[in-house]
Amino acid sequence: EIVLTQSPGTLSLSPGDRVTLSCRASHTIGNTYLAWYQQKPGQAPRLLIYGASTRATGIPDRFTGSGSGTDFSLTISSLEPEDFAVYYCQQYYNSPRTFGQGTNVEI
Amino acid sequence: EVQLVESGGGLVQPGGSLRLSCVASGLTLSLYEMNWVRQAPGKGLEWVSYISSDGSGIYYADSVRGRFTISRDDAKNSLYLQANSLRVEDTAIYYCATNARLDFWGRGTLVTVSS
């Protein structure tokens, strides 16, 4: 099983800040089968990034995914008020598909 | 507009069973791989099960293998999760989601396992 470790657990930031979230895998994720999701309270998660760096449909370009192998990151260039949420990484390279524990980006 | 609507959740006693459904609209389910993902109250996301577009490939998380069964009925544009021998720790919101990269999600259905 591939274990994904996200850091930090919580970030306290302000609108306009630039933030980088980290996701480290216990084993190499082949073909960059790594995705990022955003979840707001009371809502289902929403796909932001897949293939480690491809933005999903309708996702603003302030969201950028990067990385390969075992180290991946999600950067938000300038936080908007609607970006305060929990972010999860997930690998879909093999089974069981696994999620990181999440990073809470709070005001 | 793509919509996935889950149903079938509710309160069940430990050891009981539930059948969760996910009905799709705005897409042809037979073209999609499908997943069930759950989230316990106040906790993170946990992938539960996957079924390939033709039903030939099925995977489960260790935590549910042998107790849960995923299936699909493409004629009804529907996905199912038969959950047996339910445990308190299975209490969660259960979401269905399309494709390996989970690009479309339903709103979820709450399963509560309690005596």
pLDDT (tens digit per residue) in A57-91: 999 999 999 999 999 999 999 999 999 999 999 99
**Cβ-count burial B63-78 (b if 16+ within 10 Å, e if not):** ebeeebbbebebeebb
B85: which residues sit within 8 A by CB, 6+ positions away? B15, B17, B67
Share of residues in chain A with pLDDT > 70 (%): 100
Compute, in degrees rounded to 10, the torsion defined by CA atoms A18, A42, B89, B72: -100
Q: How far apart are alpha carbons A18 and B26 in whole angstroms?
A: 37
Instruction: For residue A99, list chain B residues with Cβ-Cβ distance below 8 A.
Output: 44-47
DSSP element (H, E) containing A53: none
pLDDT (tens digit per residue) in B18-72: 999 999 999 999 999 999 999 999 999 999 999 999 999 999 999 999 999 999 9
> Among B45, B101, B107, whose Cβ lies nearest the Cβ of A92?
B101
* Least Cα separation, residue B114 to chain A (angstroms): 22
CB contact (8 A) between residue A44 and residue B46: no
Q: Which amino acid is at A55?
A: R
Determine how β-strand B68-73 pairs with β-strand B78-83: antiparallel
**Confidence band of A8 (pLDDT split at 50, 70, 90):** very high
* Least Cα separation, residue B76 to chain A (angstroms): 24
**The pLDDT of residue A30:** 80
